[in-house]
Amino acid sequence: MAEASSVQLGLDLSVRGEGMALLVRAADVVELRAGLHQVASVAAAVRDLADAAGSQLAGVVVARGPGSYIGVRSALAAAIGLAQARRLPLGLVGSLAVVAHRVDPGPGRLVVAVGAGRGGLFVQRFTAAGGGAGVRWREVGPAEAMSLASPPDGALDGDLLLDPGSVVERPLGERVAAVRSGEEALALLIARGGYTVSGYDLVSADYGVRRGDPT
């Protein structure tokens, strides 16, 4: 979706109080608004970035969840609105895939676990895909919601476990340290095309997670 001079707007409000909106050119973050929380701050950031990008804005990529209740819904809604106004393609990326890209893709299985609030946990597995400069983490199935106190047997077994919020206290798997920030991870994922393109008239908002209906 991008030409050399074009920029993409990335939006990830999955982590409560730590929402981010950014402009990405190639894999570089050229503008960043961080610490976004409520609807107004997100609106202000999107307006700033849309103005800054002007006609170079070539696409919108949004983290579809799972994550913060208001954050994920606000992010999807804002991305749809901006894409519709500018007639841009809308890209969807899993919120835990953004977290995964805080470490370099490599051999083995990466298990990403993040806090889901109210004693819950979102867990998703990744394996490296692609080669050379295009290598990235690819989801193995959707994220799963589970109880932090008693995750199902084997749910957190992996070669690696990335847990930026340190919500998983038991030392399951080898814990890896992030090598880049959340915004750098989102930029990397956008640059490497790690999103699925949707029309702005989104047909299904599943928040990237498997759990009971209707929530």
Partner 1 sequence: MRLLAIETSCDETAAALVSDSFSVESSVVASQAKAHAAYGGVVPELAARMHLERIAGVVKAAMAPLEQDFSALDGVAVTRGPGLVGCLAVGASYAQALAAGAGLPVVGVNHMTGHVLAAEIEDPQLEPPFVGLVVSGGHTDLIHYRSHQDVELLGATRDDAVGEAFDKVARMLGLPYPGGPEIDRVAQLGDPNRFRLPRPVLPNFGFSFSGLKTAVLYLLRDLGEVDEQTRADVAAAFRLAAVETLCLQLEAAVEQTGCRRAVLAGGVASNRLLREMARARLEGLAELTIPAPPLCTDNAAMIGAAGVVRLQIHGFDSTPLEIDPGLRAYA
Residues at the contact surface with partner 1, assessed by CB under 8 A: 38-44, 46-47, 50-51, 69-70, 73-86, 200-205, 214-215
CB of 45 to partner 1, least distance (A): 9
CB-count burial class (<10 Å; 0-12, 13-18, 19+) for 6: middle
User: What does the angle CA 27 – CA 19 – CA 14 come to, to the nearest 5 degrees?
Assistant: 95
Q: Which is nearer to partner 1, 55 or 150 (CB)?
A: 55
18, two tokens: 């730590």
CB of 65 to partner 1, least distance (A): 11
CB of 168 to partner 1, least distance (A): 26
Q: Which is nearer to partner 1, 41 or 127 (CB)?
A: 41
Q: Which is nearest to 14 in space by CA: 203, 198, 186, 210?
A: 186
Q: Which is nearer to partner 1, 47 or 210 (CB)?
A: 47
Q: Which is nearer to partner 1, 76 or 123 (CB)?
A: 76
CB 128 within 8 A of CB 106: yes
Alpha carbon 21 to its chain's center:
11
CB of 2 to partner 1, least distance (A): 18
d(CA 132, CA 104): 12
